[in-house]
Structure 1
Amino acid sequence: MPSRSDVITPALLRDWALPVPTGGKEARGTVLVVGGSRFTPGAVLLAGVAALRAGAGVLQLAAAESTAASLSIQVPEALVVGLPETGDGAVRGDPGDLLRGLVAEADVVAVGPGLTDIETTGELLRLVLDAAGRETALVLDAYALGALSHAPDLLVGSGRKVVLTPNLTEAKHLLGRDPGDDLDAEAVELAGRYDAVVSLYGHVATPDGRAWREESGDAGLGTSGSGDVRSGLLAGLLSRGADPAQAACWAAFAHAVSGQRLVPRYGRIGFLARELLDEIPYTIATV
Structure 2
Amino acid sequence: MLTCREAKNFETALLIDESAEWTAMVRAGQGIARLLVEDYAEIRPVPEHLRVLALVGKGHNGGDALLACGQLLADYPRAKVDVILAAHADQLRPLTVRALEQVEGRVQIHSISEQSDVVKLTQMLMRVGGYEGFHICIDGLLGMSFKPPLREPVAALIAAVNAFEGIDLRASVDLPSGTGDEVWEGARTFDADFSYATGVVKQPLFAGIADCGRVRYVDLGFFETPQGKELVTEQVVLTDAVLDPVRRLRPAAVDKRSFGHLFIVGGSAFMPGALLMAVKAAVRSGVGLVTAFVPASVAGALSAQVPEAMWIPWPETFHGMLNPRAMSLLLNRIRYATAVLVGPGMGLGRSTELITQQIVKRVDLPILLDADSLCVRAMEVVQKRRVDYAPIVITPHMGEFMRIAKLPEPNNSLEAMLGFSQVYHVVTVLKGANTRISDGKTVMYSTQGGPVLSRGGSGDMLSGIIGGMLAQGNVAVPLAVARGVMLHGLAAQRLARAKGQVAVNTTQILDYLPEVLRG
Tell me the TM-score normalised to structure 1 length.
Answer: 0.89
Displacement after TM superposition at 1:122 (Å): 1.8
Displacement after TM superposition at 1:145 (Å): 1.1
| Aligned partner letter, 2:373 | A
| Aligned partner letter, 1:142 | A
User: Residues 155, 96 of structure 1: CA spacing in aligned structure 2 closer, same or farther, 3 A cutoff?
Assistant: closer
Displacement after TM superposition at 1:20 (Å): 4.8
Is the deviation greater in 82-91 or in 273-282? Answer: 273-282
The residue aligned with 2:428 is 198
Displacement after TM superposition at 1:101 (Å): 1.6
Q: Is the 8 A contact 1:50 1:232 kept in 2?
A: yes
The residue aligned with 2:464 is 232
- Taking only aligned residues, the RMSD between alpha carbons, in angstroms, comes to 2.4
The residue aligned with 2:223 is none
Query: Residues of 2 paired with 1:181 and 1:173: CA distance?
Result: 12
CA deviation digits over 1:161-213, x for unaligned, max 9?
22111111110112101454535443322211210111112201103x12210
Q: Secondary structure at the match of 2:325?
A: coil
The residue aligned with 1:143 is 372
CA deviation digits over 1:39-69, x for unaligned, max 9?
1111111111211211111110101110100
Within 5 Å, give how 1:130-209 maps onto structure 2. 130-132=361-363, 134=364, 136-146=365-375, 147-149=377-379, 151=381, 153-155=383-385, 157=387, 159-178=389-408, 180-201=410-431, 202-207=435-440, 209=441
Gaps of 5+ in 2: 1-180, 182-202, 204-232
Return the index of the structure with the highest Cα Rg: 2
| Aligned partner letter, 2:392 | V
Displacement after TM superposition at 1:154 (Å): 3.7
CA deviation digits over 1:115-137, x for unaligned, max 9?
113311121123323442x3x21
Q: Is the 8 A contact 1:101 1:131 kept in 2?
A: no
CA deviation digits over 1:18-55, x for unaligned, max 9?
99565100111111100000011111111112112111
| Aligned partner letter, 2:484 | A
Query: Residues of 2 paired with 1:221 and 1:27: CA distance?
Result: 31
Displacement after TM superposition at 1:151 (Å): 4.2
| Aligned partner letter, 2:404 | L
Query: Residues of 2 paired with 1:87 and 1:236: CA distance?
Result: 32
The residue aligned with 1:218 is 450
Aligned residues, how many? 283
The residue aligned with 1:263 is 496
Query: Residues of 2 paired with 1:200 and 1:30: CA distance?
Result: 25
| Aligned partner letter, 2:371 | A
CA deviation digits over 1:245-285, x for unaligned, max 9?
01111112111111111113432233222111222233234
Displacement after TM superposition at 1:220 (Å): 1.4
Q: Is the 8 A contact 1:187 1:198 kept in 2?
A: yes
Query: Residues of 2 paired with 1:122 and 1:62: CA distance?
Result: 16
Query: Residues of 2 paired with 1:15 and 1:56: CA distance?
Result: 15
Query: Residues of 1 paired with 2:335 and 2:349: CA distance?
Result: 23
The residue aligned with 1:275 is 508
Q: Is the 8 A contact 1:53 1:278 kept in 2?
A: no
Displacement after TM superposition at 1:138 (Å): 0.8
Query: Residues of 2 paired with 1:127 and 1:152: CA distance?
Result: 10
Within 5 Å, give how 1:82-161 maps onto structure 2. 82-132=313-363, 134=364, 136-146=365-375, 147-149=377-379, 151=381, 153-155=383-385, 157=387, 159-161=389-391
Displacement after TM superposition at 1:13 (Å): 4.6
Displacement after TM superposition at 1:16 (Å): 9.4
User: Residues 240, 150 of structure 1: CA spacing in aligned structure 2 closer, same or farther, 3 A cutoff?
Assistant: closer
Q: Secondary structure at the match of 1:126?
A: helix
User: Residues 128, 149 of structure 1: CA spacing in aligned structure 2 closer, same or farther, 3 A cutoff?
Assistant: closer
Query: Residues of 2 paired with 1:27 and 1:18: CA distance?
Result: 15
| Aligned partner letter, 1:51 | A
Q: Per chain length, whose mean CA-contact separation is higher, i.e. which structure has more relative contact order (CA < 8 Å, sep 6+)?
A: 1
Q: Secondary structure at the match of 1:43?
A: helix
Displacement after TM superposition at 1:12 (Å): 4.8
Give % identity. 27
Is the deviation greater in 223-232 or in 101-110? Answer: 101-110
| Aligned partner letter, 1:199 | V
| Aligned partner letter, 1:28 | F
Is the deviation greater in 51-60 or in 236-245? Answer: 236-245
User: Residues 189, 285 of structure 1: CA spacing in aligned structure 2 closer, same or farther, 3 A cutoff?
Assistant: farther
User: Residues 86, 55 of structure 1: CA spacing in aligned structure 2 closer, same or farther, 3 A cutoff?
Assistant: same
Query: Residues of 1 paired with 2:246 and 2:517: CA distance?
Result: 13
Q: Secondary structure at the match of 1:278?
A: helix
Query: Residues of 1 paired with 2:331 and 2:291: CA distance?
Result: 13
